[in-house]
Amino acid sequence: MSLNTVRRGRRFEALVERHLIQAGWRVLDRNVRFHRKEIDLVVERDGLVAFVEVKGRSGPAFGHPLDAITWRKRRAISLAASVWIARSDFKALSCRFDAVSIRPKAGGGFEVEHVQGAWMD
Q: Domain ranges in the chain?
A: 3-119
Decide: pTM greater than 0.85.
Answer: yes
Residue 91: per-residue pLDDT: 78
Q: What strands lie across the sheet with 110-119, from one edge to the other?
A: 26-34, 37-45, 48-56, 94-104, 110-119
Half-sphere exposure of 107 (CA within 13 A, CB side): 0
- Over the chain (121 residues), the average pLDDT of each successive run of 10 is 74 93 97 90 95 87 83 94 90 90 87 92 75
User: Is the Cβ–Cβ distance between 81 and 120 less than 8 Å?
Assistant: no
Residue 68: per-residue pLDDT: 87
Residue 37: per-residue pLDDT: 87
Partners of 42 in the beta sheet? 29, 51
* Alpha carbon separation from 12 to 46, 61, 82, 86 (Å, rounded): 25, 17, 25, 28
What sign does the dihedral 31-102-115-48 (CA atoms) show? positive
* Alpha carbon separation from 100 to 3, 46, 64 (Å, rounded): 22, 19, 11
Which CATH number is 3-119 given? Answer: 3.40.1350.10
Residue 6: per-residue pLDDT: 73
